[in-house]
Amino acid sequence: MQKKLTITENQFKQLLNEELGVSEMVADLSMSVYKKIEEEIKIKTDVETSDFYSKWNNSLTFDLFGGKVSCSITCYNFFTKEYYEYSGVVSTGWSVYVSDKLFFMGLTIPMISGQIVKSNVIDTIQHELSHLFEQKMMGKKYSDSNIYSFIKTNMESRNVIVSKTAQLMYGCIKSEQDSYVNGLYAYLMAKPEMPSMEIIKKSECWILYEKMCSIYNEFCDEQDFIKELKKYKMTPEKVMKLCDNFIKKIGKVIVKVKQDKYKKQGFREKN
């Protein structure tokens, strides 16, 4: 029987003794892009209106350390918080590395009564910029692009184990983990308070980690699951190690958020 993936809040707090160097350049650029978006989306053309929201498209071009990013934006402005919460529309993004000088990015931006849902949107921005920045530093597209295609195809399978294993493998990709924790940094820095477990658990990064643990714990003793892992050159032991690496990265980010909130946002330790 395989060992289950578990982590208690006390164990998680112990991980917070470590420190992470989230890319300051990417963090600063993410905030700069967010501010540009705030200005750009005030320009509304071809607005579609329903009983619950208005929708329009914008575009934006900005520098990425010597390259140009062409960014397409789709805005959903919900008339009430309740309409937004029941809509199912979330902040999402995509990015494409074309060359060292040219990149494309797309963002879906939810708003409530004209105000951007900031913490979620800046999470998405930093996630996608982290992908582009990493590829720019490598000077090439991700070498695992084929595995992305394989995972996406398998995610859509009607076979539960095939689909769930693909979801788990997505979270095991190092570049995805790195982008999710960078997004977590932006998400927590955008919050007006210090990070609590309640806030952390609402982040896309934590939700992905919990999903990975849930899938692994549900299927780890099933032979069909182990066979499926072999298609990705994985074993249960390797998956456990990658999940462990992910939670450590999350812990390091939270330490950095706390440090930076003290330094950058004027928070003070309570006596």
**Over the stretch 157-176, which tens digit does the pLDDT of each residue have?**
999 999 999 999 999 998 89
pLDDT of residue 46: 86
The tens digit of pLDDT for each residue in 226-242 reads 999 999 999 999 999 99
Residue 107 to residues 71, 88, 202, 269, Cα–Cα distance (Å): 7, 16, 20, 36
Helix axes 145-155, 160-172, angle to 10 degrees: 150
Give per-residue pLDDT as tens, 188-224. 999 988 989 999 999 999 999 999 999 999 999 999 9
With a cut of 70, list the residues of the chain below it in pLDDT.
1-23, 143-145, 264-271
What is the widest separation between alpha-carbon atoms in the chain? 59
Q: Which of 55, 36, 38 is nearest to 47 (CA)?
A: 55
Please give the pLDDT value at position 3: 62
Structure confidence at residue 73 (pLDDT) = 96
Give the global pTM.
Answer: 0.73
Structure tokens at 147: 């595995």
Q: Which of 134, 131, 169 is CA-nearest to residue 150?
A: 169
Q: Quick one: pLDDT at residue 20?
A: 44
User: If residue 181 lies in a helix (H) or strand (E), which one and from where to where?
Assistant: helix 174-189
In the prediction, which pLDDT does 203 show?
A: 95
What pLDDT is recorded for position 136?
82
